[in-house]
Amino acid sequence: MKPEFARIIKEARDSRDYSILTNGIPYASLIGMQCTPMGDDALFTLPHQMSNIGNPILPAIHGGVIGGFMEMSAALHLMLFMDEPRLPKIIDFSIDYLRTGQPKDTYVHCEVCRQGARVANVAVTAWQSKRELPIAIARGHFKLSRGSA
């Protein structure tokens, strides 16, 4: 399975069709996650769908869905842009929820703040209407496989 997944990652990078990855990861597919290339970067999108609503009274996107979307975006970002050959392992992931996730499309941008041989630190920002008004921000540390024996 590992050689197959490495082939899928290479195919996604080469073709710049990142749906190959988002459709191949069950959780990403379940929540409807999408990834669009933007120059040398990518924009991760969580399109509005009722199954992601946690509180139908407000309504609001479930916080766990927002957190999972941000975490998955960071891991995919490392695989696509930092030549990580497989899904990196999470060391820790800390989220600050700033606003309610309204029932509309949500976007995420990831930035690698620091990368070593074995660990990468990724900053993640999620927003809906305006990038300057994030609904959540996160910091994640991931163990990279290429630095391990």
pTM, whole model, 2 decimals? 0.91
DSSP string, 11-70: HHHHHT-THHHHHHSHHHHHHT-EEEEETTEEEEEE---GGGEEETTTTEE-HHHHHHHH
Domains of the chain: residue spans and CATH: 2-143 (3.10.129.10)
109-149 pLDDT, tens digit per residue, is 999 998 778 899 999 999 999 999 999 999 999 998 864 43
State how far the Cα of 25 lies from the Cα of 123, in Å rounded to an integer.
22
90-120 pLDDT, tens digit per residue, is 999 999 999 999 999 999 999 999 877 889 9
